[in-house]
Chain A
Amino acid sequence: MVYRKLMTSTAAFMLVLGTLFVLLGPRILPYLGGVSWGELAQPPLTVRSAIPFTRLFGVTLLTVGLIAWMARKLDRPEDQRSIGLAFFMGGLSLSILALIQQIAVWATTTGWSLVFMIAAFPLSFGYVFFVELGGADFRRLTLSQDSEKLRQQWIRQLSEAAAQQERNRLARDLHDSIKQQIFSINVSAAAAQERWASDGGGARQALEDVRNSAREAMIEMEAMLQQLRPAPLENVGLVEALRKQAEALQYRTGAQVTTEFGDLPDSDTLSPGAQEAIFRIAQEALNNIARHARAKNVHLRLYQQHNGDNPALWLKIEDDGAGFDTTESGAGMGLANINARAAEIGGRPHIESAPGKGTNLVMSIPIISPDVTNIRRKYYANQAYTFIAIMIIGILGRHLPRTGDKTNGIYLFIAAIMLLLPTLIHVAKEKGLLEKLRSTNNVALKISLGLTRDSYQALFFVFICFISCSVRQAGFLSVILSGVVWWSHMRRIHRVMKELKEKLSAIDFKQSAEQMWRQSIITLTMATPLVVTLSWLTHAAQPLLFIPLSALYLGYVAWWRYGGISIIRQGA
């Protein structure tokens, strides 16, 4: 309910403020403080020229208010989280811009009130988003209570349906396997009887067949009993159980089934129930192969991939059978079961298949690493530092005696150092860590990578805006500086994207590219009108650099994003 109240109050606030801006224009703009109602009969040039821009700002606020009003009734936690994140990010951009503008326009006295007013948005939305709703970036790790309840309910329903399905499957399996073996024993025994007198060699061969069939029936029976028993809870049991299932598949279908087991991680480093889920997923996949694939070769691998200190557990099951069209809606309950089981332990199954091309199931099971907590803390600290640094710079700026360009130069130098310092320290301290993160397949660590990337992004963004606004006398120099910083930033993003594309599965890559794409859109749409206004008010063109540079960045991320999708299509 906190969400709904917040959205309603936001809508009310935005609509009122937006209407005021549209109707009254620059009269309420605090940056031009000191303009009285009387003066507005003959407004000075600066105020007159600001009229269209304050109206534009008003329209933006009205739009945001309308969006808040329309979105206040969303009741799915995922939707609330998305909107919460959008408003949080938008509010963050707005308040940073307001801060920078206030710093840039030293002379005004009342501007700080607008800064604090706008800063209230990320604060309140940040509270709702991170505390009440659990935070979108961490939704896989910490679900909010509501969604946790829904998830439990869903799992319960699913397991009831699964129990019925399991019974049907066992009946079918009994038909498919044991009955065939017993029939075969019967006919082979009959053949031995027939050949007894006339064909001793043939009779012996038939008896050999009887023994073979009996042995195979035994193994099939064992595999089936294993499915009825509670699933293995320890690694040793898991490996043994998977081996038996593979062996049974070999007898049932005649396919060559090979298994490969690496060193497995300690049970307590995996999610609870991971062994059971892995066993059931593998079993489902092997059953699908037995029933549909007509494969000649099947290969099952379970192994840990070491990426520095952060390994993930991988399950791979490949066959060279008939395959299927993954885009077909009737791809079956089997796949739904696999996805549901995987979701329970944070696994990410990826199935590649095409008619005639065999089927490839790959799943990574994350091993939750303590590094995530650490990095999350650093991320918040970094963001907080940025805010505090800008506040201090702003306050210093207002109280420093303005004795000319020299003081301004020193002041700008100090401010730039203050803004760049944490980034430089981070880069130096976390260089090794970043390398590790880039090469990871672990979902939890990938999230950390995203956070680290975001925090750098935010710092660079603030730095550029600061330079653009503050060094407005420097003109050309600031354009060059911004360009250089942006260029290095883009190169870094490019490197990260490339690494992600190489190291992650197609689905994971697509998701992280989409996340970047969404963030870029939010930032760009929310900040653009304000940057335009800012440029006008500060009489400086530099802030406008934000627009082409952001568009460039957006286009770049989009290119990767659509590139990611076409990779998936090719792979399927």
Chain B
Amino acid sequence: MSQIRVVLVDDHRVVSRGVRSYLESFPDIAIVGVAANGEELLKKFDEWLPEVVVMDLLMPGGMDGVEATKRVRALSPRMQVVALTASVDEARLIGALRAGAIGYVRKDSEPEALLAAVRAAARGHSVIDPALTGDALHDFARG
């Protein structure tokens, strides 16, 4: 079975380090790159050619996660984005989904939720954090 090529985008080093170490423990996942911000991801995108990008939504200065999601989705529509954020802001969730994210995981979820979301995203399936699927998704559906 081929591995899922994953790129992590997060300005918090500690998070990238932990997530990398966790996801790499599974043989079906390969972390091909780690970026600290959206600009870095776009620069190295052709080199990394990820299938799934795990994207922090709140990043300081310049491009935030929602904008970066929009840009990479435009570059490669087959590649999927899983938003990973500490924020509980529903507007941000809707923003991320509109920008083309397929999964949404909060940082207070269990690590397994992230793993499941990455695997689902690689198959083109959506996993949204259950804590946020109520009104927010209705809003999203209504557009």
Q: A180: which B residues are within 8 A, CB to CB?
A: 12, 14-15, 86, 107
Q: B44: which A residues are within 8 A, CB to CB?
A: none
**Minimum Cβ distance to chain B for residue A267 (Å):** 35
Task: Given A190-B111, A254-B13, decide whether A209 and B37 contact each other with a Cβ distance below 8 A.
Answer: no
Among B17, B18, B61, max chain A CB count under 10 A is at B18
* A420 contacts the other chain (CB 8 A): no
* A183 contacts the other chain (CB 8 A): yes
Give bound CA distance, A292 to B11, whole Å.
Answer: 11
Q: B14 to A195, Cβ gap below 8 A?
A: no
Within 8 A of A (CB), among B79-119: 86-87, 107-108, 110-112, 114
A interface residues, tally (CB under 8 Å)? 35
Q: A409: which B residues are within 8 A, CB to CB?
A: none
> Looking at chain A's contact residues, is the secondary structure mostly helix, strand, loop, or mixed?
helix
B18 touches which of A187, A202, A252, A293 (Cβ 8 Å): A187
Closest to A289 in B: B60
Q: How many A-B residue pairs have CB under 8 A?
A: 91
Closest to A206 in B: B21
Give bound CA distance, A293 to B36, whole Å.
Answer: 13
Q: A206: which B residues are within 8 A, CB to CB?
A: 21-22
> Looking at chain B's contact residues, is the secondary structure mostly helix, strand, loop, or mixed?
loop
Chain B interface size band reads 20 to 34
Task: Given A179-B86, A180-B86, decide whether A205 and B21 contact each other with a Cβ distance below 8 A.
Answer: yes
* A79 contacts the other chain (CB 8 A): no
* A47 contacts the other chain (CB 8 A): no
Q: A202 to B25, Cβ gap below 8 A?
A: yes
Q: A254: which B residues are within 8 A, CB to CB?
A: 13, 36
Q: A181 to B61, Cβ gap below 8 A?
A: no
Give bound CA distance, A190 to B114, whole Å.
Answer: 11
* A291 contacts the other chain (CB 8 A): yes
**Minimum Cβ distance to chain A for residue B116 (Å):** 12
Task: Given A290-B60, A293-B61, A294-B61, decide whether A179 and B108 contact each other with a Cβ distance below 8 A.
Answer: yes
**Minimum Cβ distance to chain B for residue A32 (Å):** 76
Q: B44-77, CB under 8 A of A: which get 1 and which 0?
A: 0000000000000010111000000000000000
Among B11, B37, B87, max chain A CB count under 10 A is at B11
Give bound CA distance, A253 to B114, whole Å.
Answer: 23
* A176 contacts the other chain (CB 8 A): yes
Residues of B near any A CB (own CB < 8 A) = 11-15, 17-19, 21-22, 24-26, 36-37, 58, 60-62, 86-87, 107-108, 110-112, 114
* 3 tightest A-B CB contacts, nearest first: A194-B25, A184-B18, A191-B22
Residues of A near any B CB (own CB < 8 A) = 175-176, 179-188, 190-191, 194-195, 199, 202, 205-206, 209, 212-213, 216, 251-254, 290-294, 321-322
| A–B Cβ pairs within 8 angstroms, 23 of them | A176-B86, A179-B108, A180-B14, A180-B86, A180-B107, A183-B107, A184-B15, A184-B18, A186-B110, A186-B111, A188-B17, A190-B110, A191-B18, A202-B21, A202-B25, A206-B21, A206-B22, A209-B21, A292-B61, A294-B11, A294-B36, A294-B60, A322-B62
